[in-house]
Amino acid sequence: MGAAASPPVSRGRVSQLLRQFRLLVAPYWRSERKWRIRAATAWLVLLTMAQVGLAIWISYWNRELFDALEERSLSDLARQTLTFVLIFVLTMAVTAAHLHIKRWVQLDWRKWMTSQLLDRWMAHAHLYRLNYSSADHDNPDGRIAEDVRIATDMAITLAHSLLFSLLILGSFVDILLEVSGTAPVPGTSFAVPGFMVAMAFVYAGVGTVLGLMLGRPLIRSTNVLQAVEANFRFGLARAREHSEPVAMMRGERFERRAADQQFADVGRGWNLQTLAYLGIVSFSTGYGTLLPVFPILIAAPQYIGGAMSLGLLMQAAQAFQRLTSALSWPVDNLGDLARCRASIDRIVALYEDLDALERRGWENDASGERIRVIHSHHPELRISGLRLESPSGQVLLEDFELHVRRGERILITGDPALTISLFKAVAGLWPWGRGEISLPEGRDMMFLPQRPFLPEGTLRAVLSYPQRATRYSDAALHRALECAGISWLAPRLDESEDWSRSLSLRAQQRLGIARLFLQQPGWVFIEEATDAFDLKDEVCTMEMLHHELPSTTLLNISLHNGLFHFYDRKLVLTRQREPAARAREAAALPEA
């Protein structure tokens, strides 16, 4: 992803730029805040024009100052000093106003783009599903947090500097034509009017061509470095998130080696970018060092010959520098262009990956088939013609049919690979296979995984998740904790802690069960969410579920025996030696 060089603009490159503009800029420009955005943009343009106007004014002030010095006139020097004070105050005011509005637009655009990506990434299970997409989408969190910041900041900064350079170019060409005069061509009768303009274009043209050639590898090296930096951050964050099991298994040495390997990639990316920078930085340094001297040297013969005053000479030199700097915009901003381009490419790739998920859903790359999960008006769960496959294509379950009426209690047991795959397929998280799963319409449905997710925050917020903490009363929260057998946590409802670390696995699973008692869904799918309980505790939990949620449909994946009498049906999934699996139903058995 990302171009390796800066080739000439082609039809494909123009098409790519237009697509990126359509994805990142046009929707923001047409968003609900469009009038504020357009007004801020108009102010930015006007203030940029004011900056150019001040630059022109300082050019003529510079000419009059040196003329006053050449004439040794104290009165003219005093007048120019007062003029400079006015220019100084106006420059500070215009620069401050421009900076304030520019940073508002940068933050507003970043906020809008971040919101758009988060809405897509955290909807329809894309957060999970993107991990199994075959597209280039490494570290979507880093792209949203870092690449969006780089793209919005630099795109607006580069757009402002480009507009400023174009306005300077148009303005100082006229000034340089006016002040540089006509230079004779040695040995001929010809004279070149405004010769310094031609020299400025030659100087900037040679600098631009050489700069682009020397900076050709920079885009690829910058893109590589950003990717490996993101991988390094992700690896460290992953080690931090799983610090407890890592420490218990004495896996620090393994994680340390992994971090060393990832940082070695960072080092290689850094060295690759360093090599890319060496040529362009060395050239830019020489180019910039020569720039203030070169115009004085080529205009000095006219000054010595009396065709120019000292003020005209200095104005011509300054105009030459301004004009050349404007023409050198691509070289001067090559590094920022590379970073901005790399970030934009990564953001667009993420946009397109999420779009592909929304358009195609879970599509099997080999056969084009997938498991369809739909919502119907029927008050029952229907699974028709379901074929479950592993990600590698191995058939796990073939031609599976299941109808579950509201209020039924079904125990699912058997091969763990089959039971967990079925659980994820019903949840819409398992794309591999084919068939249709029809869920009852509505959101009155809860999936309880083996280890519940406990977000950071107060215990009240954790227990209410994914609903708002203010939705439930203290009495309801206390009752849910009591039913789940963890009433000892009730005094800590308003404490904030990392509950996934401070609570044991059994307490975490009880907290997940407490959510059922609190939110009282109509349909519950449980995936071994009581496997840390002993048989007595599990029996008590099932009795409480029957008592508190008598009309709730329950599908429970459990490997424990002794609970059969709590269910209407038992579904056994077993795998044979053949690729297909066998599913059979057994009647509820008496308690062992």
CATH of the domain at 199: 1.20.1560.10
Could you tell me if 425 and 291 lie in one domain?
no
Which CATH number covers residue 560?
A: 3.40.50.300
Report CA-CA distances (Å) from 209 to 202, 212, 293, 327, 406.
11, 5, 21, 12, 73
Please give the pLDDT value at position 192: 62
5, part of any domain:
no
CA 395 to chain CA mean position, Å: 36
The H-or-E segment that residue 384 falls in is strand 380-389
7, part of any domain:
no
Tokens 């349909």 sit at which residue?
A: 523
CA-to-CA distance for 275 and 229, rounded, in angstroms?
A: 18
44 band by pLDDT with thresholds 50, 70 and 90: very high
Burial label, 245 (beta-carbon count in 10 A; 0-12, 13-18, 19+): exposed
475, part of any domain:
yes
Q: What is the pLDDT of residues 141-163, one digit of tens each?
A: 888 888 889 889 988 999 999 99
- Taking each helix axis from N to C end, the angle separating 34-71 and 310-327, rounded to the nearest 10 degrees, works out to 150
Question: In this structure, how many other beta carbons lie within 10 angstroms of the beta carbon of residue 186?
Answer: 6
Could you tell me if 543 and 476 lie in one domain?
yes
CA-to-CA distance for 310 and 396, rounded, in angstroms?
A: 88
CA-to-CA distance for 102 and 470, rounded, in angstroms?
A: 39
Average pLDDT of span 476-489: 91
Compute φ and ψ for 583, nearest 5 degrees: -120, 130
Could you tell me if 377 and 345 lie in one domain?
no
From 303, 335, 363, give the residue that closes a domain: 363
2, part of any domain:
no
Please give the pLDDT value at position 99: 93
Could you tell me if 323 and 423 lie in one domain?
no
Please give the pLDDT value at position 585: 61
Could you tell me if 457 and 347 lie in one domain?
no
In the predicted structure, residue 18 carries a pLDDT above the cut 70: no
581, part of any domain:
no
Sign of the dihedral defined by the CA atoms of residues 172, 174, 179, 180, in that order = positive
Could you tell me if 408 and 467 lie in one domain?
yes
Q: Which domain holds residue 180?
A: 14-363
CA-to-CA distance for 531 and 356, rounded, in angstroms?
A: 37
| Number of domains making up the chain | 2
Question: Could you tell me what percent of the chain has a pLDDT over 70?
Answer: 86
Please give the pLDDT value at position 588: 46
In the predicted structure, residue 363 carries a pLDDT above the cut 80: no
Q: What is the pLDDT of residues 499-535, one digit of tens each?
A: 887 888 888 889 989 999 998 888 888 888 777 787 7
Could you tell me if 357 and 444 lie in one domain?
no
Could you tell me if 80 and 147 lie in one domain?
yes
1, part of any domain:
no
Q: What is the pLDDT of residues 90-117, one digit of tens each?
A: 999 999 999 999 999 999 999 998 888 8
List the one residue out of 40, 165, 157, 164 whose CA is nearest residue 105: 40
368 band by pLDDT with thresholds 50, 70 and 90: very low
CA-to-CA distance for 228 and 143, rounded, in angstroms?
A: 12
Please give the residue that has the higher pLDDT: either 13 or 126. Answer: 126
Q: What is the pLDDT of residues 405-442, one digit of tens each?
A: 888 998 888 888 888 888 888 888 887 888 888 888 76
- Residue 228 exposure: Cα atoms within 13 Å on the Cβ side: 20
Burial label, 534 (beta-carbon count in 10 A; 0-12, 13-18, 19+): exposed
Could you tell me if 181 and 276 lie in one domain?
yes
Average pLDDT of span 237-241: 80
The alpha carbons of the chain give a radius of gyration, in whole angstroms, of 35
Provide the phi-psi class of 485: left if phi over 0, else alpha when psi is between -120 and 50, else beta.
Answer: left
Q: 3-state SS of 63-121?
A: HHHHHHHHHCCHHHHHHHHHHHHHHHHHHHHHHHHHHHHHHHHHHHHHHHHHHHHHHHH
Q: pTM here?
A: 0.65
589, part of any domain:
no
Report CA-CA distances (Å) from 285 to 28, 158, 171, 280, 337.
38, 21, 26, 9, 18
Please give the pLDDT value at position 248: 67
Range of lowest pLDDT (122-126, 237-241, 338-342, 503-507): 122-126
3, part of any domain:
no
Could you tell me if 80 and 224 lie in one domain?
yes
Average pLDDT of span 468-473: 88
Kindly provide the b/e burial profile for residues 69-88, where b requires at least 16 CB atoms within 10 angstroms of the residue's own CB: eeeeeeeeeeebeebeeeee
Q: What is the pLDDT of residues 247-288, one digit of tens each?
A: 767 778 888 888 898 899 999 989 988 888 887 777 777 777
Could you tell me if 183 and 302 lie in one domain?
yes
Could you tell me if 142 and 244 lie in one domain?
yes
